[in-house]
Structure 1
Amino acid sequence: MRLNKILLAAACALLMLPVLALALAWLTPDVPGVSMAQTWWHLLGTTLPGYVSSSLWLALGVGAGAAVVGSSAALAVTLFEFPGRRALEWLLLLPLAMPAYVLAYVWTDTLQYSGPLQTALRSALGLQGALWPDVRSLGGAVAVFVLCLYPYVYLLMRAALAERGVQLMQAARLLGAGLSRRVLRVALPLARPALAAGVVLVLMETLADYGVGAYFGLNTFTTGIYRAWLALGDRSTAAQLAVLMLVCVAALVAVEKSAQRRLRFGSARSTAPGQTRTLEGARLPLRSAGARLAAWAVCGLPLLLGFVLPVAALLRLAWRQMHYNAPAVYDFATGQMVAAPAPPWWQTPYAQAAANSLTLALVAAVLALLLAWWLSFAQRGGLPWPLAVLRQTVALGYAVPGAVITVGILLPLGWWQQAWPTSPLQGLITGTLVGVVYACLVRFTSVALQSIEAGYARLPTSMDDNARLLGVRGVLLWWRVHRPLLMRASGTAALLVFVDVMKELPATLLLRPFGYDTLAVQAFQMASDERLAEAALPSLTIVLTGLLPVLLLARATR
């Protein structure tokens, strides 16, 4: 038992090592003779105000947009009845499968000067020049994030309103309150904690993103960390920015926890089933048609712009790349350009990137699931408070951005290399998959942990007491009793980690071995080189993979 606790503490400390390394970086300046205070003053006078300003405006825009779009859709599908509501109720979750950087590639290709939309409009209307500003801007990034992340707000708002919103709306209607007053004075205050929790989740995802900021050329915290580390080679500046970003994320986590604690209501749920208000012509048929159109617009536009049209654009680009952009070579015998012989499909860059992504995702999912089983089983048996604190800290790993984790991994490696130049540890972490898998475990073990804990919450502790009376203890208790009952939660945990690793870009981009490209890295590099058609197939694969947990979530919420 003591050995198990020691190993558990070592595992938790290893998962928290990147954050601890960032804290120690404050005490170890990278340049001899330059204190961390001097580094801070230099940042304040040069790049830090720009990073803060861009990140703040991006966060404000995305938070406000996601709150409006997500809450409007949740109000529509929860409080009203209209044709297509049941389908839209789960279809609105589909943009969760679309990574933000993929959506940025799609809309850039569609809306740019040489894109199909502007080309068709100039040809049809006889216009010249750009018809609108470049989408690669701060406003374009805000729109991309809103379309990808509004389902966080929608999902929590829908759950809060479905709990008691319909019944209270009916009570307010019987008391003579108009529709606008019922929505503003009853429904929205009821779901305010859920709205706050959803917006905080959106902000954490926005701050953690690297692909959109790098592709649009934004000066955010995440792009600043990578620029300081890769372009300038300044570890102190990268560590300072990473710590400041970590403080912001910790504050958002505290706000989200506070909002989650308020997601409980005192009165019991009504036993009488509530009925949704029907948007049909009790007054004027035209007004009824307008109400239906408004409901369809509120629910359909985010789905159309955030998933349907981007998937269609990806399919168009992939088809064009496969059938019209085949490589050609000059045939000296005929004097003409002929199609080059295609390599076997398993030797194509896409197939190799897909195999790399699958391997990495499977290894990370299995290891994260094993760690989640171990930590949850130990927590169920009772842990001393130091171990309990360590375990709770590990559960917050998903909130730490990938850029921060990457810097936290590379910093101690640099210290180790300076102390022992001949040590092979540096090559073991950055030259193999060990570093990438380690970064994925630091960030995504908490995802598996939450799923396993949710499964354990449905198992009464009396079951364990009965098993111990029958002589089943220790690992046998988990194997014979817990494991069969946690199969569904375990499958969900492994699936969520698998999909998150498939979409992971920042840590993989910096820690991967030379020549080891995943689908996310391949799509990012192709898009950065303006080869958007070649980025379509890996992007489409990531989106289709991300549909699996979204459909699982939609089924669970129904």
Structure 2
Amino acid sequence: MLSSMRAQQSVGKSWFFLTLGITCLVLAPVTVLVWHAFQGSTEHWQLLLNHVLPVAFSNTVLLLIGVGVLVTALGVGSAWLMTAYAFPTRHLLSWALLLPLAVPTYIVAFAYLDILHPIGPVQTWIRELLGYTSPRQFRLPDIRSLPGAIFLLGFVLYPYVYLSTRAMFATQAASLLEAARVLGESQRSVFYRVALPMARPAVAVGVSLALLETLNDIGASEFLGIQTLTVSIYTTWVTRSDLAGAAQIALSMLAIVATLIMVERYGRRHQRYSQNQRSHPVQPIALRGLPALIAMLLGWTPVIIGFVAPALYLLSESYKHFHLVGEVSDQLLSSAWNTIHIAFIATAVTIIVGLIVAWTARTVRYGQKQGFIIALSKFASIGYAVPGTVLAIGLLSPLVFFDQSLQTVINWFKDTPPQLFLMGSSAALVLAYVIRFLAIAAGGIEAGLARIPPSIEQASRLLGESPAGTLKRVHLPLLRPALGAAALLIFVDAMKELPATLMLRPMNFETLATWLYAEAARGTYEEGAVAALAIVVAGLLPVVLLARSQLKTTRASFKG
């Protein structure tokens, strides 16, 4: 018995050290980034402060404020509309509002640059309707502007707020809202004074995710001509080969990320939320006539702008391409294979690493260091808060150091020409994807483990099974739904990832995202539309599954 306990303690230490190594790997890019930033000369800082950071920083802050306001209005408004009112197409709209999640921000910008072009279909139709014949006589404001970027990003990213807020509204006890109505409050007052304050945590989470996606964006901002910090990092490194300058700008972005998180947590530090799960759910008010029509228009507008219009554009351009060319180019097929191949490998590795982190946090008891282990699991999941460009800059030096060290070891046995083992292969991309999307895997698996009663694990351990054996024989079969959902989300996110892919891909290695980026830069929209359509189709599956999951959650919220 004593030997069995010692063996289990040894296995526990192994899990601990695995998680410690993973956490160090995740934190390494940030640490190296700080080191590079302060290695730059004061002239670098002076140049950035005078010519780069004022414009890039102000554009980024204004973009974040604008997108934050718009996604809050759209997300909260849509969630309350779906919760408080019943009208035609409501059931269909409840999941259709999630469809913009399937369209990356840079694809929406790519589509609307052509849709809203002065000689594009929308402005041409408006001029014909008004009797004008030339763009000089009438044209809409240029979409290539900061307001244009706020508008497009807001209509793509609002589902983050809608998803979390709708779940909160759906689980609020109707008795609280009814009590407010009995006390004389109007429907509008009930929303502002009761429902919205209770949903504040969910709104904060959704807005935070939307703003992190905004910070990570590079394609949409560059397509729309907005010099953000993300674009400045890319141009500083790629155009000027200035690693120190890029690191300094990246450090400024990390400061913004940290500020966003601290402000959100500080704002609700004294607030506590509770709810009575046994109460009946909110009963929507049935609308008829003009109010129902207005509700339908309000509900479907974000879906049309954020998904339907760009999707129809991509379908039209793809059809034109196939009609004129009759086939897909070999380069595009190669990009599609690269995308699927690299996303599959990254998904498999990320799931394995996430399983290690989540399982360690659940089972390991290492002396008095339980709190330290939980902290390690949290630090291992911070990669999602680090924008792709920042992560790529932070990984450059560790990857080069590894390649040089491995080259030195090989040269001890046989002289070989210098090679790039990680930087010259797709392994660098896999590593970046694993660090960035580890939070999805670890979070999803932790949620799955939380649904498994501890008694099952305790019975397995009492029967002499090791932690690894318990995981393999007991938990993995029960975790299949959580593992599948996390793998699907990671796979699609890896397919869409643009900033890190642009900066870390090997020579002559294209993915669908980088292919689209290159085609948009050249102005060849037809073949770029094929790549964009493939990414959107791949993103539809997890959105549909997410919508089904949300529907089940809403129906089950007040059962039992």
TM value normalised by structure 1: 0.89
Residue in 2 that maps onto 1:371: 353
Distance 1:39 1:359, change over 3 A: same
Aligned AA (2:70): G
User: Is residue 173–residue 275 contact of structure 2 (8 Å, CA) maintained in 1?
Assistant: no
Structural mapping, 1:393-542, within 5 Å: 393-413=379-399, 427-542=420-535
Residue in 2 that maps onto 1:284: none
Report SS of the residue matched to 1:322.
helix
Give the whole-Å Cα distance in 2 for the aligned partners of 1:193 and 1:487.
29
Q: How far apart are residue 421 of structure 1 and its match?
A: 9.0
Report SS of the residue matched to 2:30.
helix
Aligned AA (2:35): L
Residue in 2 that maps onto 1:339: none
Report SS of the residue matched to 1:46.
helix
Q: Is 1:195 matched up with 2:203? A: yes
The runs of 5 or more residues in structure 1 that have no matched partner are: 281-288, 327-341
Give the whole-Å Cα distance in 1 for the aligned partners of 2:354 and 2:405.
34
Residue in 2 that maps onto 1:170: 178
Distance 1:261 1:473, change over 3 A: farther
User: Is residue 12–residue 394 contact of structure 1 (8 Å, CA) maintained in 2?
Assistant: yes
Give the whole-Å Cα distance in 2 for the aligned partners of 1:126 and 1:28.
59
Count of aligned residue pairs for this structure pair: 526
Q: How far apart are residue 292 of structure 1 and its match?
A: 1.1
Which of residues 84, 88, 94 in structure 2 aligns to 1:89? 94
Give the whole-Å Cα distance in 1 for the aligned partners of 2:418 and 2:20.
22
Structural mapping, 1:10-409, within 5 Å: 10-29=21-40, 34-35=41-42, 38-123=43-128, 125-130=131-136, 131-164=139-172, 166-256=174-264, 265-280=273-288, 289-325=289-325, 348-382=330-364, 384=369, 385-409=371-395
Write the deviation string for residues 479-511 of structure 1: whole angstroms up to 9, x where unpaired: 110111101111111111101100000111111
Aligned AA (1:318): S
Write the deviation string for residues 262-297 of structure 1: whole angstroms up to 9, x where unpaired: 9963342353444221223xxxxxxxx221122112
Residue in 1 that maps onto 2:557: none
* CA RMSD, 1 decimal: 2.4
Residue in 1 that maps onto 2:556: none
- Structure 1 stretches of at least 4 aligned residues deviating more than 6 Å after TM superposition: 258-264, 415-426
Give the whole-Å Cα distance in 2 for the aligned partners of 1:24 and 1:513.
25
Q: How far apart are residue 71 of structure 1 and its match?
A: 1.2
Distance 1:419 1:534, change over 3 A: same
Write the deviation string for residues 288-328 of structure 1: whole angstroms up to 9, x where unpaired: x22112211221000011111211111000000110256xx
Q: How far apart are residue 390 of structure 1 and its match?
A: 2.8
Give the whole-Å Cα distance in 2 for the aligned partners of 1:387 and 1:438.
23
Distance 1:445 1:518, change over 3 A: same
Distance 1:273 1:400, change over 3 A: closer
Aligned AA (2:291): A
User: Is residue 228–residue 235 contact of structure 1 (8 Å, CA) maintained in 2?
Assistant: yes
Q: How far apart are residue 153 of structure 1 and its match?
A: 1.0
Report SS of the residue matched to 2:539.
helix
Aligned AA (2:206): G
Q: How far apart are residue 413 of structure 1 and its match?
A: 4.3
Write the deviation string for residues 142-171 of structure 1: whole angstroms up to 9, x where unpaired: 111111100111112111211226433322
Which of residues 534, 544, 549 in structure 2 aligns to 1:556? 549
Distance 1:474 1:181, change over 3 A: closer
Aligned AA (1:11): I
The runs of 5 or more residues in structure 2 that have no matched partner are: 1-9, 410-416, 552-560
Distance 1:486 1:270, change over 3 A: closer
Distance 1:166 1:310, change over 3 A: farther
Write the deviation string for residues 385-417 of structure 1: whole angstroms up to 9, x where unpaired: 544433211112111110000000113345678
Aligned AA (1:101): Y
User: Is residue 213–residue 219 contact of structure 1 (8 Å, CA) maintained in 2?
Assistant: yes
Aligned AA (1:471): G
Give the whole-Å Cα distance in 2 for the aligned partners of 1:263 and 1:473.
42
Residue in 2 that maps onto 1:336: none
| Identity within the alignment, % | 37
Q: How far apart are residue 427 of structure 1 and its match?
A: 1.2
Residue in 1 that maps onto 2:6: none
User: Is residue 403–residue 422 contact of structure 2 (8 Å, CA) maintained in 1?
Assistant: no
Distance 1:255 1:453, change over 3 A: farther
Report SS of the residue matched to 2:227.
coil
Distance 1:416 1:164, change over 3 A: closer
Give the whole-Å Cα distance in 1 for the aligned partners of 2:132 and 2:212.
45
Write the deviation string for residues 15-63 of structure 1: whole angstroms up to 9, x where unpaired: 221111112224433xxxx34xx43233212211111110011111111
Distance 1:79 1:4, change over 3 A: closer
User: Is residue 173–residue 280 contact of structure 2 (8 Å, CA) maintained in 1?
Assistant: no
Give the whole-Å Cα distance in 2 for the aligned partners of 1:390 and 1:182.
42
Give the whole-Å Cα distance in 1 for the aligned partners of 2:517 and 2:462.
57
Higher relative contact order (CA 8 A, sep 6+): 2
Distance 1:199 1:11, change over 3 A: closer
User: Is residue 109–residue 220 contact of structure 2 (8 Å, CA) maintained in 1?
Assistant: yes
Give the whole-Å Cα distance in 1 for the aligned partners of 2:487 and 2:404.
38
User: Is residue 347–residue 490 contact of structure 2 (8 Å, CA) maintained in 1?
Assistant: yes
Q: How far apart are residue 436 of structure 1 and its match?
A: 0.6
Aligned AA (1:152): Y
Aligned AA (2:221): G
Give the whole-Å Cα distance in 1 for the aligned partners of 2:31 and 2:494.
23
Report SS of the residue matched to 2:421.
helix
Report SS of the residue matched to 1:430.
coil
Report SS of the residue matched to 2:158.
helix
Write the deviation string for residues 358-380 of structure 1: whole angstroms up to 9, x where unpaired: 10110000000111111111111
